[in-house]
Amino acid sequence: MAKLSLFERRRRRVRTALRKRGGTRPRLSVHRTGRHIYAQIIDDGQGRTVAAASTLGADASGANVTSAAEVGKRIAEAAKQAGVTTVVFDRGGYLFHGRVKALADAAREGGLEF
């Protein structure tokens, strides 16, 4: 088995902890690149994406903190329309600061509970 990168080890550790604590709640998964940030609410029980939002196609000014906050607001609105109120936050292997934190804070302000 190949040696895992630090990022991959951190991502697996976070995902395992979420499975233990999250139970049956949907997962708010975050992915970021140098240009964009993406958020999905995934129902792992059914294996489908309930809601999604990103900076793709939006009039966002790149992948900065304000754009991430907009994505957080949009994912909260999409979750409300899908009937989801409580989620577990899956930051993946990303540290909880900067854009990831801005997205999470905006999603909480939008009404999601985690």
Q: Tell me the average pLDDT across 34-39.
A: 94
Domains of the chain: 6-14+24-109 (3.30.420.100)
Lookup result for tokens 């804070």: 105
Q: What pLDDT sits at residue 1? A: 66
Q: What is the pLDDT of residues 78-93, one digit of tens each?
A: 999 999 999 999 999 9
Question: Which of 17, 38, 32, 7 shows the shortest CA–CA distance to 88?
Answer: 17
State the DSSP code for 62: S
Distance in angstroms (rounded) separating the CA atoms of residues 83 and 56:
24
Residue type, 47: G
Record the pTM. 0.91
Task: Note the pLDDT tens digit of each residue in 44-58.
Answer: 989 999 999 999 976
